[in-house]
A and B are shown apart, each in its own frame.
Chain A
Amino acid sequence: DAMVIQNPRYQVTQFGKPVTLSCSQTLNHNVMYWYQQKSSQAPKLLFHYYDKDFNNEADTPDNFQSRRPNTSFCFLDIRSPGLGDAAMYLCATSRDTGVTEAFFGQGTRLTVV
Chain B
Amino acid sequence: QKEVEQNSGPLSVPEGAIASLNCTYSDRGSQSFFWYRQYSGKSPELIMFIYSNGDKEDGRFTAQLNKASQYVSLLIRDSQPSDSATYLCAVRSSGGYQKVTFGIGTKLQVIP
Contact = CB atoms under 8 A, between A and B. Distances in A.
Interface of A: 33, 35, 40-45, 48, 50, 55, 57, 88, 90, 97-107, 109
Would you list the 4 A-B pairs with minimal beta carbon distance, nearest first? A42-B102, A107-B43, A99-B32, A104-B43
Q: Choose among B31, B43, B44, B92 the residue with the greatest number of A CB atoms under 10 Å from its CB.
A: B43
Q: Choose among B34, B45, B98 the residue with the greatest number of A CB atoms under 10 Å from its CB.
A: B98
B43 A90 contact: yes
Given A40-B8, A41-B104, A101-B34, 15 more contacts: A42-B4, A43-B88, A48-B97, A88-B41, A97-B97, A97-B98, A97-B99, A98-B98, A101-B32, A101-B49, A102-B90, A104-B36, A104-B43, A104-B45, A107-B43
B42 interface: yes
Nearest to A100: B32
B103 A42 contact: yes
A107 to B, nearest CB: 4
Nearest to A33: B100
Interface string B80-108: 00000000101010000111111111000
B34 A48 contact: no
Contacts of B100: 33, 45, 102
A45 B46 contact: no
Nearest to B105: A42
Interface of B: 4, 8, 31-32, 34, 36, 41-46, 49, 51, 88, 90, 92, 97-105
B43 A45 contact: no
B31 to A, nearest CB: 6
A7 to B, nearest CB: 13
A36 B21 CA distance: 24
B51 A99 contact: yes
A2 to B, nearest CB: 11
Contact of B102 (A43, A48, A57): A43
Contacts of A41: 104
B104 A50 contact: no
B44 A48 contact: no
Contacts of A55: 97
